[in-house]
Structure 1
Amino acid sequence: MTAADRLAALESLDSETLCARAETALAALVEVMNRETTFLRAGHMREATALTAEKTQLAQDYVGLARAVQRVSARLKAEAPERVEALRRRHESLATQMAENLRVLATARSLTEAVLTDVARSVGATTAPKTYGAPGTAQRAQSETIQGLSINRAL
């Protein structure tokens, strides 16, 4: 089934069913984003990362439903105006939740990057020689010592 077929199938649902499915998908997406934000605030990066696949799938589901709702909005407003209004308010709360989630993600990334940079500097500082050679000058680092630390900045 193509994306166009899936969208057409969603558009053909009755108003109550389409709105209910969109609300359910939206609630699930907000819930997983709340869990991710909570994990990130607590510094539990692995637990937050474990939610990525679920969050991605829920976001894809919601986007498909939101497109269907948007394409048949005139029919939905005529047949179920209160459901459409409730869905609009919940969608606005998703925007607020996403902004908070992105802020926390940026903070976690920045903090992680700062910690790793400090570790790299510390490791590099310990490889410098701390003794003098025979002519009274600092000895050069030998090639066997640690030359640096590789940091994967993808978060």
Structure 2
Amino acid sequence: MTAAARLAALDTLPAGDLCSRAETALASLVNVMNQETMLLRAGHLRQASELTPEKTRLAQEYVTFARAIQRETKRIVAEAPQLMDRLRAGHESLATQMAENLRVLATAKTVTEDVLTDVARMVGQNNRTKTYGTAGRVTADPASSAKGIAINRAL
């Protein structure tokens, strides 16, 4: 089935079915994001990253339904206005969860960068020469500073 045929099939679903599917995808997405946020807060970065494929799949699924609902808004409002209200409330819940998730991700990234920067700085300090040069100052040999420590900013 082509993408156009799948979209057309969504557009012809009864309002209740379309909204129900969107609501299920939305609730699942919020749930996965909540799990990820909790894992990140607990410092379990690897476990949190394992949720990424599922979160991506659910986000794509939800966007597909949301776009179908946007195309069919007039029909859905006419047939089932209460379902649109529930979807709007669910979408607000998603927005709140996303904001919290992004805040926690930014904090985890900052903490990770700070730790790695501090480690690199300390390793570099330990490798410096601790003798006096001809001017009576401790000389720093840039060639002896730490090498091989990198910070991956793509958290």
Match of 2:111 in 1: 111
Over the matched positions of the two proteins, sequence identity in percent amounts to 61
Match of 1:102 in 2: 102
| Letter in structure 2 aligned against 1:101 | N
What stretches of structure 2 of length at least 5 have no aligned partner? none
Number of corresponding residues: 155
The two structures, once aligned, show a CA RMSD in angstroms of 2.1
Query: Residue 123 in 1 paired to residue 139 in 2?
Result: no
Contact 1:128–1:141 under 8 Å retained in 2:
yes
What stretches of structure 1 of length at least 5 have no aligned partner? none
Q: Matches of 2:142 and 2:61 in 1, distance apart?
A: 57
Q: Matches of 1:52 and 1:64 in 2, distance apart?
A: 18
Match of 2:29 in 1: 29
Match of 1:64 in 2: 64
What TM-score, normalized by structure 2, do the two folds share? 0.90
Contact 2:127–2:144 under 8 Å retained in 1:
no
What TM-score, normalized by structure 1, do the two folds share? 0.90
Tell me: CA distance 1:137–1:109, structure 2 relative to 1, closer, same or farther (3 Å). Answer: closer
Contact 1:25–1:58 under 8 Å retained in 2:
yes
Q: What is the CA-CA distance between 1:92 and the residue it aligns to?
A: 1.1
Tell me: CA distance 1:135–1:74, structure 2 relative to 1, closer, same or farther (3 Å). Answer: closer
Q: What is the CA-CA distance between 1:143 and the residue it aligns to?
A: 5.0
Q: What is the CA-CA distance between 1:83 and the residue it aligns to?
A: 1.1
| Letter in structure 1 aligned against 2:154 | A
- Structure 1, residues 44-98: CA drift from partner, whole Å, max 9, x if none? 1001111000000000000000000110011111111111111111111111111
Q: What is the CA-CA distance between 1:5 and the residue it aligns to?
A: 2.3
Q: Greater CA deviation, 72-81 or 125-134?
A: 125-134
SS in 2 for 1:59: helix
Q: Greater CA deviation, 68-77 or 128-137?
A: 128-137
Q: What is the CA-CA distance between 1:130 and the residue it aligns to?
A: 1.5
